[in-house]
Chains A and B, each alone.
Chain A
């Protein structure tokens, strides 16, 4: 399908058309924290202030807390009941290419071996409408992680700023359906395409932070037992967990029960390898020391995930740098991994 375009002032109209079929989520500030939230049908001011959300869009697929099932006991024993299924189809409007890439990375974990029904049903029912990033942050390093700030690879539709309008690339069949159901769109002209190309190039070049990940798996393997390096790396970390909880590719979760007046719920909630309790067993804790936890975080993303899925579990979104209260910087850490000969395995 040929590319389309839409006037920026018509975005609300477009979203309202989609809103008839989807729960439309768009960048919003809830209590001052930027995140994807249900769009109110009017406000498109995010087009002006939005750079990226603080809470990554993964929260719409793996919520910070979600009910897995309910249980109840009567004379016959325990009964288990699934929560009412959420049939709402979500349309995420304005997802950045780094975060869209993160969803593809998360899919690998949730699809692998045993299927995760909660995450996967949300993913199946959702459409992603990407919005190219033209004003990246200083902490962004997506281009070093193989992501362009305007790329369309992991979304269904991709919007690129071409002045008063957005160029719309139709990427998937889901995207084609969205376009078929929308009125008020125009065909993109050659001139529009040229403008989009220019925007993409300019945006790409705005990412100045670089990280060289060449040979990173081998380097981390060789330095796994370098306690001194990891202690130094972890020195200022305060184990707050922000870099993992707000990482778009982090997925670790906890499972707990709650029982209120005989009504039981099992729920899962985000968890973090940064917390000592995460691995705590009654008799011991393999990651009691902070440096072991920091090592786990770094190696999981840049060593273990590539070993298992052949991709680095980082998209360069920069949140862990931007949001860290003590200015811990993953790009500096990775660049300071000592180069060693003699690989661990």
Chain B
């Protein structure tokens, strides 16, 4: 491995200085679950907004001015550019501040950063999406991207779960994918309630039940680390090789561009070399550093 080549990546340097955020405006806020919100936003400078481009899997650094910055993936699809979206759970200083904001509020945005899902590699393959909780956010950018270019891909399985029915994010997407006859949508919860009619069980267990074939398939996994750790062995059992498993990782980040140092796992910087990795790239670190 040598220094990372980012020449082929989508980048946006409208302001010259890579640390300067662009001003973006929140247009709409969707309450996904208590504590998880999706923010629709656009560049304040419409011209910059038109110049901006990104790929599924890339992330941004979002500023609540005076509080700080935090990284979130762009959870909308580049095929749907009416606005951009990100989804944040209220857990820390920046996300608590974000959750106090309403439509019309201004944020800072730097990005897009990081690599993206390898569309060329996914082309003409069966795709198995495995998501948990808010981990659906980066997958959903790719899922809509793939659905909007449906003929380029083969079978699509989506296995998505959350702790309870109330914790399911993107219910409107789950409905839409459920109705899409070209998609096999399986929703599960760890613990159901009186009205829950879907599956009950943790994601890795349901994945084992659904048992998608590994033939010409790629699995794309994102969720809490514990789910990721238990999902890879199931996929291996189903015949997926480490190269056929992709995931996108999350770490504490400050700079987003491979300088500030805190997101590395081994010699990999999650912000610079990821956030999208194949299991082959990270399997040696999963047990010890993730």
Contact = CB atoms under 8 A, between A and B. Distances in A.
A268 B225 CA distance: 29
B261 A115 contact: no
A50 interface: no
Interface string B51-68: 000000000000101111
A253 B119 CA distance: 34
B267 interface: yes
Given A112-B3, A225-B288, A281-B252, A307 B262 contact: no
A71 B106 CA distance: 12
Which range contains the number of B residues in contact with the other chain? 35 or more
A80 B20 contact: yes
B254 interface: yes
B68 A257 contact: yes
Q: Determine the main DSSP class of A at the interface with B.
A: mixed
B65 A113 contact: no
A128 to B, nearest CB: 22
A9 interface: no
Contacts of A73: 65, 106
Contact of A257 (B67, B252, B290): B67
Contact of A307 (B1, B95, B265, B284): B1
B264 A255 contact: no
B261 A271 contact: yes
Contacts of B3: 108, 112-113, 308-309
Closest 5 CB pairs of A and B: A252-B261, A282-B91, A259-B66, A304-B267, A114-B257
Interface of A: 68-69, 71, 73, 77-78, 80, 82, 108-110, 112-118, 224-225, 251-259, 264, 266, 268, 271, 273, 278-284, 286-287, 292, 296, 299-300, 303-305, 307-310, 344-345
29 contacts: A71-B66, A77-B44, A78-B23, A78-B65, A78-B106, A80-B21, A82-B17, A82-B20, A113-B4, A113-B257, A114-B6, A116-B259, A117-B16, A224-B266, A253-B255, A254-B254, A255-B68, A257-B67, A257-B68, A257-B69, A264-B66, A266-B63, A273-B262, A279-B263, A292-B289, A299-B266, A304-B267, A308-B2, A345-B284
